[in-house]
Amino acid sequence: MKHHIEHLLASALTELLSDAGFLAPSRDAQERPALGDEANIAASLRTGVERTRDRNHGEFASNVALTLAKAARCKPRDLAEKIVAALPVSNKIARVEIAGPGFINFYMTPDAFQDVITDILAAGPRYGRSAVGENRNVHIEFVSANPTGPLHVGHGRGAAYGAAVADLLEAVGYTVHREYYVNDAGRQMDILGTSVWLRYLALCGEHLTFPVNAYKGAYVRDIAHKLHQQHGDSLRHAGAVVMQDLPPDEPAGGDKEDHIDALIARAKQLLGAAAYRQVFDWGLNDILGDIRDDLHEFGVDYGTWYSERSLYESGAVDRAVDRLKTSGHMYEKDGALWFRSTDYGDEKDRVVVRDNGQKTYFAADIAYHMDKLDRGFERVIDVWGADHHGYVPRVKAALTAMGYDAARLDVLLVQFAILYRGGEKMQMSTRSGEFVTLRALRHEVGNDAARFFYVLRKCEQHLDFDLDLAKSQSSDNPVYYIQYAHARICSVIRQLQEKALHWNETQGRSSLDRLQESHEQALMLALSRYPEVLESAALNHEPHQLAHFLRDLANDFHTYYNAHMFIVDDAALRNARLNLVMATRHALRNGLTLLGVSAPETM
């Protein structure tokens, strides 16, 4: 409906552009107003047509006359009058009025809302989809948790949010590539590999004091047990001396970071490169396989699992560093190479190569984003945890220094999800192993509740996840309430069959004018909003808009269901109502599907 009005306004403006009489009298008759081309007009209209808050002022209002008045060298209200006079005739528009300084208000006909029902039934699962992003590609990277342990509930929010954003963008025409960046290189992975080896040595009979800064979760013991089952004691490699002459750990008055770093070096020395890589990869592959399975079961899949290690092996990190050197934004200090990111607004300069010659995480991040853009993606979206907010300006600075348009990168920061049970907050710590896994959450509340609750709020807002509410079967639980609306509609079809009746969609379509009840009018109005909500949710990366719309739509349906009988003796009225509720079923199912939630037929 909104797009229909945009089309009418675009037609009117195009006609005015071709009319010399449209020009202000004081200007040369051969001169055209500087409104721009049709694409610019369309862009102005896309942001200039909105639903009214008060239907006394119509269903839609446009400020296009105000935004284009200066370019047209015309007073806004005068321009509005010219636009209205040039509007094509439409059976969806009852009347058009000009309000205030030049707003154009559109009052829709009953046919316009009835046509929505027919449009939904014709489009089915494609209702609401559009081509706004047609011929544009987007790369979206999300979750990308270090494979140092199972996914926890915090990762789950990034997974649900990122997947929903990707699906929404695809629904409005974008070509979307989903990617998981596997941090399979670097210090944290070395800590994991060493933690696995120490647990393995314990299974070989070695008596060792486990480091404070190692990974302590039960999953590390499980990985070590599998390693020992496969290799026996063959990877023991002088394990008895692994702790000798190391810097003391924190309980002994030392520094836990120095201790774990020395222990990693000792593990590499005793095992040798090949055996160390074997232990390292054993832990990596076990956890990464678990992450893949967990996300797949959660309805989240990727086009590519991109290896950080491949950036080093392919020389991409070296190429990125060389490009920064060539750009003149690198300098040497204290034996290290620094990127002068303060030239681009960062709070301080950043080390890219340490004084020992090792590349930093930042160097790999630069190379990875360089690679994304070099692969030809028009837009790149990163979904990061909110604790990574400090990385945004430095990555954008590096891209700018290498000659890229940093505006092509959007970083969406997802705040933490806090679990509550019985009103009590639950604690989490990945390193200590005291955390609730995503898998445990899914098993407790189900995928549907998890996917839906995770996207109920804006990504930058903290999310309180109430386990008791997510499991409840009540109208207070939004996902249950919405799914119940869908199941109720399915039950209407079953009741129809039990009465030996059938739904005649054709008769219902010709009888839509019988839908005069206030609840029917409210439901049709809500259904007409679905394409607008879908588009807004996609373009603003805000799946919560769709989640709240579905809750409102379900409420409108439940209110209608409780107030009126659908299977009435009057066949024309019965089929008109069935057309309406079946259209509602499509909208509910389409929206739930985009959020990764099922639409059950029975509950």
Q: For residue 73, what is the DSSP state?
A: T
Residue 101 to residue 109: CA distance in whole angstroms:
25
User: What's the confidence (pLDDT) of residue 24?
Assistant: 44
User: What's the confidence (pLDDT) of residue 434?
Assistant: 54
User: What's the confidence (pLDDT) of residue 1?
Assistant: 87
Residue 277 to residue 311: CA distance in whole angstroms:
17
Contacts of 361 (CB under 8 A, 6+ apart): 186
Partners of residue 384 on adjacent β-strands: 413
Give domain limits for the chain: 2-108, 187-297, 476-594
User: What's the confidence (pLDDT) of residue 238?
Assistant: 77
User: What's the confidence (pLDDT) of residue 20?
Assistant: 53
Alpha-carbon torsion (96, 99, 104, 108), positive or negative: negative
Q: Is 124 helix (H, G, I), strand (E, B) or coil?
A: helix
User: What's the confidence (pLDDT) of residue 18?
Assistant: 76
CATH superfamily of 476-594: Isoleucyl-tRNA Synthetase; Domain 1 (1.10.730.10)
User: What's the confidence (pLDDT) of residue 42?
Assistant: 54
Helix axes 518-539, 110-123, angle to 10 degrees: 60
Strands (E), 241-370: 304-307, 330-333, 336-339, 350-353
Residue 17 to residue 591: CA distance in whole angstroms:
39
The residue type at 518? S
Apex 175 CA angle, 172 and 179, nearest 5: 120
Sheet containing 409-414: give its strands across. 304-307, 175-182, 137-141, 379-385, 409-414
User: What's the confidence (pLDDT) of residue 21?
Assistant: 54
User: What's the confidence (pLDDT) of residue 72?
Assistant: 78
482-504 pLDDT, tens per residue? Answer: 999 999 999 999 999 999 999 99
CATH code matching the domain that covers 2-108, chosen among 2.102.10.10, 3.40.190.10, 3.30.1360.70, 3.40.50.300: 3.30.1360.70
The 10 Å Cβ neighbour count of residue 150 is 22
221-250 pLDDT, tens per residue? Answer: 999 999 999 999 999 987 778 999 999 999
Q: Let me know: does 496 contact 469? Beta carbons within 8 Å.
A: no
Sheet containing 336-339: give its strands across. 330-333, 336-339, 350-353
Q: Let me know: does 566 contact 497? Beta carbons within 8 Å.
A: no
The ranges of the chain with pLDDT < 50 are: 23-34, 430-433
| Closest-CA residue to 546 (of 593, 584, 512, 510) | 593
Q: Let me know: does 505 contact 581? Beta carbons within 8 Å.
A: no
| Closest-CA residue to 396 (of 384, 404, 388) | 404
446-493 pLDDT, tens per residue? Answer: 999 999 999 999 999 999 999 999 999 999 999 999 999 999 999 999
539-567 pLDDT, tens per residue? Answer: 999 999 999 999 999 999 999 999 999 99
User: What's the confidence (pLDDT) of residue 31?
Assistant: 46
Q: Quickly list DSSP for 353-412.
A: E-TTSPBPHHHHHHHHHHHHHHTT-SEEEEEEEGGGTTHHHHHHHHHHHTT--GGGEEEE
Sheet containing 93-99: give its strands across. 49-51, 60-62, 103-108, 93-99
Residue 267, phi then psi, degrees to nearest 5:
-60, -45
Whole-angstrom CA distances from 415 to 195, 386, 418, 462, 505 are 29, 5, 10, 5, 46
293-324 pLDDT, tens per residue? Answer: 999 999 999 999 999 999 999 999 999 999 99
User: What's the confidence (pLDDT) of residue 424?
Assistant: 87
> Quick one: how far is CA 83 from the chain centroid?
38
Tell me the pLDDT of the chain averaged across its residues.
Answer: 92
Global pTM reads 0.91
